[in-house]
Amino acid sequence: MVMNMAKYSIGVDFGTQSGRAVLVEIGTGREVATAVKAYTHGVMDAYLPDGVTRLADDWALQHPGDYLEVLHETIPQLLQAAGVEPADVIGIGIDFTACTMLPIAADGTPLCMRAEFASHPHSYVKLWKHHAAQDEANRLNDTATSRGETFLARYGGKISSEWMLPKLWQILNEAPEIYDAADVMVEAADWVVMQLTGKLVRNSCTAGYKAIWHKRDGYPSQDFFRALDPRLENVIDDKLRGEIRPIGTRAGELTEVAANLIGLRPGTPVAVANVDAHVSMPAVGITEPGKLLMIMGTSTCHVLLGTEERMVPGMCGVVEDGIIPGYMGYEAGQSCVGDHFEWFIEQCVPVNYVEEANRQGVGIHQLLTQKAKALRPGESGLLALDWWNGNRSTLVDADLTGMLLGATLATKPEEIYRALIEATAFGTRMIVETFREYGVPVDEVYACGGIAEKNDLMMQIYADVLNMPIRIGASSQTPALGSAMFGAVAAGKTNGGYDSIQDAAREMGGVKPDAYLPQEDAVKVYDVLYAEYARLYDYFGRGENNVMKTLKQLKSATTKDGVPVC
């Protein structure tokens, strides 16, 4: 009888709309089985699950029960589909969107799961794209600037409203009863690991990028927090306490209860959690500086390694060991990429396009992409700013909004679709040029994530706009593969895994054989369009014309929770 000696690791990627799990063979990186579970509650941006509690503009919540469903459903499916025994799974790792945070009770129960708080919006998970803490972010940035806090420079000069402290402070300001009832506030990533291991272990990646924690300096001082709000003086001990462990280490082992629920063996090593973007880098095989990776889905994150700590304006952050141990990890991003196109297909596509897509048996994205491909760069006469969900880098301003220029009575949906794609590519070029200008080399570009897989036109446009080849990650589930690799590192070499993420990346990460190459004619036209984009970017984004903010203020003055005020 031939014995199957293969060993496996499981990675689970908790995205914006779904959780994706993969079972990966150690050594080869072969993805033996994949399972996807859409979140039952999706993204809650209008109502709570009770169906009556209305959410204000800029809110985006999730239900933590959905994360448990992902684990309970996908992991047994993987084992069954692959015919793999639990004993052959040597480790498990997870990654998450971030900062996606929630208040929990001392026993780990999310406050939204307690009956008395079920209709309280602040008791739920605040998703990364919850942008309603912009006031708190502005006040935090003003206070930090006036006090000359050195941490600001490591975050490109501004702390984003998407991150932990503005969100936590919003809870304190608007729902002190929830703030008080919370034992601690945690990243959803760490909460899921806590469900698996029974222990709260905070990961250094989210602490570093999203909660202003520094490997040597720790969190900002008590003085700073007192200056922000006297009630926050002890916020770290009160609400953010807990051991912070470096990525690439073990958080603990599966408890008996968790193991029974997901069908694995108790004691299986569980990796310290990670962020969906950052975990993708080794999965594409990148472990050295100069190689920018774009993780393209609902949003795009740009991650890059460097050897020195450079202060780059408008970056999300530079964190030592934040992505790959031994390097400075840089992150930048665009908060609206796939969401941009989703808005368009949901709100702006005429019925005859829907009928045509149905006749062809394709989706709207495919139909629009097909039609947009027939256009040459510049042919639409359109130019857009990609700020439909604010600007994450390089302006770090959630109050900026979208803009389309050049539309006429002849403008067609595919022209707008293409202009929106181009706008996101220009936004990426702005990020790349800013990195270079401030001394962080970008020599090669890579992409992964849902969009890198699904939209070849988009990837060609990015290659043309950046005038650089773009290589695509080999896996269709790159973050989940990265998590599985960290699971194998948590197990360690003596248990059949790896001793470092670099070793795992060498054997299990990689790219597809073909790259998207820039086309000379397109590059020339996009250089012209990009110059115009950059002028509009400064004009609308750096205070010369604050019309976007005026419009937003007028809107909120005439509506309450999205409802017109008579």
Ligand X SMILES: O=C(CO)[C@H](O)[C@H](O)COP(=O)(O)O
Ligand Y SMILES: Nc1ncnc2c1ncn2[C@@H]1O[C@H](COP(=O)(O)OP(=O)(O)O)[C@@H](O)[C@H]1O
The answer to whether 299 contacts ligand X (rule: CB under 6 A) is yes
CB of 95: closest distance to ligand X in angstroms?
A: 9
The answer to whether 128 contacts ligand X (rule: CB under 6 A) is yes
What burial class does residue 52 get, using C-beta atoms within 10 Å of its C-beta: 0-12 exposed, 13-18 middle, 19+ buried? Answer: exposed
The answer to whether 388 contacts ligand X (rule: CB under 6 A) is no
| Of 159 and 275, CB closest to ligand X | 275
d(CA 395, CA 183): 34
- Partner interacting with residue 160 (select from ligand Y, ligand X, none; CB below 5-8 Å by kind): none
d(CA 287, CA 321): 12
Q: Interacting stretch for ligand X, rule CB under 6 A, among 35-43, 139-147, 271-279, 481-489?
A: 271-279
CB of 448: closest distance to ligand Y in angstroms?
A: 9
Residue among 401, 423, 408, 410 at smallest CA distance from 341: 423
CB of 303: closest distance to ligand X in angstroms?
A: 8
The answer to whether 315 contacts ligand X (rule: CB under 6 A) is no
The answer to whether 370 contacts ligand Y (rule: CB under 6 A) is no
- Partner interacting with residue 277 (select from ligand Y, ligand X, none; CB below 5-8 Å by kind): ligand X
| Of 190 and 339, CB closest to ligand Y | 339
The answer to whether 284 contacts ligand X (rule: CB under 6 A) is no
Size of the site for ligand X (CB under 6 A): 16
d(CA 216, CA 214): 6
The answer to whether 297 contacts ligand X (rule: CB under 6 A) is yes
The answer to whether 451 contacts ligand Y (rule: CB under 6 A) is yes
Check if the beta carbon of residue 340 is closer than 8 Å to that of residue 384: no
The answer to whether 135 contacts ligand Y (rule: CB under 6 A) is no
Token pair of 140 as six digits: 């935090």
- Partner interacting with residue 386 (select from ligand X, ligand Y, none; CB below 5-8 Å by kind): none
Give the number of other CB atoms < 10 A from CB of residue 166: 26
d(CA 369, CA 353): 12
Q: Are strands 274-275 and 89-96 parallel, antiparallel or unpaired?
A: parallel
| Of 320 and 356, CB closest to ligand X | 320
Q: Which residue has the tokens 């993805």?
A: 31
Q: Which residue has the tokens 């993969």?
A: 22
Element containing residue 458 per DSSP (H, E): helix 456-466
The answer to whether 473 contacts ligand Y (rule: CB under 6 A) is no
DSSP string, 42-57: --BSSB-TTS--BPPT
The answer to whether 276 contacts ligand X (rule: CB under 6 A) is yes
The answer to whether 455 contacts ligand Y (rule: CB under 6 A) is yes
Residue among 385, 372, 532 at smallest CA distance from 461: 372
User: Which residues fall within 8 angstroms of residue 177, CB to CB, at 6 or more apart?
Assistant: none
Under rule CB under 6 A, which residues in 210-239 are in contact with ligand Y? none
The answer to whether 339 contacts ligand Y (rule: CB under 6 A) is yes
| Of 268 and 299, CB closest to ligand X | 299
Token pair of 217 as six digits: 């300096």
Token pair of 275 as six digits: 């962020």
Q: What binding mask, one character per residue, do residues 282-301 give for ligand Y by CB under 6 A, x or -?
A: ---------------xx---
Does residue 394 have a cis peptide bond before it, meaning omega lies within 30 degrees of 0? yes
Q: In angstroms, what CA-CA distances link 330 with 303, 308, 504?
A: 6, 10, 21
Check if the beta carbon of residue 100 is closer than 8 Å to that of residue 20: no
| Of 15 and 487, CB closest to ligand Y | 15
Among 103, 450, 509, 510, binds ligand Y (CB under 6 A): 450
| Of 15 and 289, CB closest to ligand Y | 15
Chain residues that interact with ligand Y, rule: CB under 6 A: 15-17, 297-298, 338-339, 341-342, 365, 369, 449-451, 454-455
Chain residues that interact with ligand X, rule: CB under 6 A: 15-16, 97-98, 128, 275-277, 295, 297-299, 301, 331, 333, 449
